[in-house]
Each structure stands twice: as structure tokens, then as C-alpha cells.
Chains A and B, each alone.
Chain A
Amino acid sequence: EAGVVQSPRYKIIEKKQPVAFWCNPISGHNTLYWYLQNLGQGPELLIRYENEEAVDDSQLPKDRFSAERLKGVDSTLKIQPAELGDSAVYLCACSFVLEGEQYFGPGTRLTVT
């Protein structure tokens, strides 16, 4: 079974530029998560989807961050405009059911200069 796929793996952009991250979860996993992981810290939840519905986006900075999960499969996380403080690893995870084991992708390392 293929794992969680994320792209790109690395991204370097200048501040104020837009950036997008893509995630393809494990087939059949209806719950999808986006996490932010700062250096030396644990993951922090940004948004959680049940199929195509965002059921928890309370930690998503909505002034510059947006996400979508069309058709309840792939998901895209966007930042516009990026700030220096957005430099971090963005992790996508999924689970088969709401309280099931979460499987993480390798993450996208974003550097904002």
C-alpha cells in the first residue's frame, strides 16, 4: 500500500510570494490532516478534513492560509502571502477513520527568505 505522498519536498520562496503544497493520502483514508512542524517542536494541527468537509480549522490562520480537499481525496494547502515566520515543515497525515492511527507523509520543508 502506498503511503502519503506530498509535493514538493522542498520549497524556497521570497516573502510575500504565494506557495502551495499538495497531498495525496492513502487510498480509502477519509480523514486528512495538515500539520505545521517548527524546528525542534512537535506537529501542530492546522486543519482536519472528513472527506471534503473541513471539520476543524480553528488553528488555521485564515488571513493568509487556505486549504481545499476537492472530491475528498487530494488536498492542497496554500499560503498567500508568505511571511518569514512561515518557514517550517508542513506535514500531511491521514487516517482510515476519525479516531484511527494517523499516517504521516514526509512533509514539505518551506524556507521563506
Chain B
Amino acid sequence: QQQVKQSPQSLIVQKGGISIINCAYENTAFDYFPWYQQFPGKGPALLIAIRPDVSEKKEGRFTISFNKSAKQFSLHIMDSQPGDSATYFCAAGAWGKLQFGAGTQVVVTP
């Protein structure tokens, strides 16, 4: 049973544009929502994370928006750059145990 649903599966954005990836979860016990970035041949690396006591968190060009009542959260990548081309995974969990989404492949065109 997939506890974290991620969309879209892939997206193409022009340089300077905004990339938006959405995730939905089911388990209301989840209290930690990280986003990971993965390049080919590498392990996932933490980008940004949020806990349910806030509705938004921004770090540089990356912003998480969190809607606790809807059990949804999203990643916004502002001013997308070719170096942002990667696969992005949302995750949700508690007590260190994470459930990952299926991933979104982002391609930023020059």
C-alpha cells in the first residue's frame, strides 16, 4: 500500500521557471516531511524538510508548502536552473521511519 503519492511523474521546465511537485499522505501520525534530490548514480540528498507545526518553509530557491488538513505538501523550485535537473522524492514519516514517494524526474531546459 502506497502511503505517499507523488505527482507528476516527470516535468520539463524552462530555465528561470518554477517547478512544482505535489505529494499526499494518508497516515495522520506522520510528523516529518522531507524532500530529497537524487542525481544518477548517487544516493538521495536532503534538500529541505518541514514539520506540521508550520505551513511553509523556504530555503533559498526551495519552498515547502504544507496543508495538514488536506494531508498534502508540495515543493516549489523557483528560478529553476539546469543544475536542478534530477529526480526529487518526497517522504513522510515519524520516529525516523520514512515512506517515500515514487519520485519526479525534473528536466530544466536551457
Given A40-B103, A42-B91, A42-B101, CB of A104 within 8 Å of CB of B45 = yes
Which listed residue, A40, A93, A106, touches B42 by the CB 8 Å rule?
A106
Task: Indicate if B49 sits at the interface (CB-CB under 8 A).
Answer: yes
Instruction: List 5 additional contacts besides A41-B103, A45-B97, A48-B96; criterion CB under 8 Å.
Output: A42-B4, A42-B103, A43-B44, A98-B95, A103-B46
Interface size class of A (residues with CB under 8 A): 20 to 34
Chain A residue contacts of B43, Cβ below 8 A: 4, 91, 93, 104-107
Instruction: Number of B interface residues at 8 Å Cβ cutoff, please give it.
Output: 22
Once bound together, how far apart are the Cα atoms of A105 and B38, in whole Å?
11
Residue numbers of A with Cβ under 8 A of B are: 4, 31, 40-45, 48, 56, 91, 93, 95, 98-107
Q: How many whole Å from B99's CB to the nearest CB in chain A? A: 8
Task: Indicate if B86 sits at the interface (CB-CB under 8 A).
Answer: no
Interface residues of B in 37-86 (CB under 8 A from A): 41-46, 49
Chain A residue contacts of B98, Cβ below 8 A: 45, 102
Once bound together, how far apart are the Cα atoms of A107 and B95, in whole Å?
23
Once bound together, how far apart are the Cα atoms of A99 and B96, in whole Å?
4
